[in-house]
């Protein structure tokens, strides 16, 4: 049973909704979201995960091109 199943809250500052996804904290910080804790993992609710996907789309595309699809 993982931390999300146990009821982990969203790591973004000011959000108290239950998390649905777990992502590397470094990737979340690189996308521009402000997380409160300094753990290795960041837990995101549905709404903040959507923001993360939008903000990291360009970086993912560049990595894809860099590594030859």
Does position 11 have pLDDT exceeding 90, yes or no? yes
pTM of the model: 0.84
pLDDT category of residue 65 using cuts at 50, 70 and 90: very high
> Residue 69: what pLDDT?
65
Q: How far is CA 21 from CA 4, 26, 69, in A?
A: 7, 15, 25
Cα 24 → chain centroid: 7
Task: Identify the three-state secondary structure at position 28.
Answer: helix
pLDDT category of residue 39 using cuts at 50, 70 and 90: confident
Q: What residues does each domain of the chain span?
A: 1-69
Does position 49 have pLDDT exceeding 80, yes or no? yes
């Amino acid at each position: 049973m993982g931390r999300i199943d146990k009821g982990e809250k969203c790591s973004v500052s000011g959000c108290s909704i239950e998390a649905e996804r777990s992502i590397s904290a470094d990737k979340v910080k690189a996308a521009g979201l402000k997380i409160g804790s300094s753990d290795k993992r960041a837990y995101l609710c549905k709404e903040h995960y959507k923001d993360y996907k939008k903000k990291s789309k360009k970086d993912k595309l560049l990595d894809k091109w860099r590594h030859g699809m």
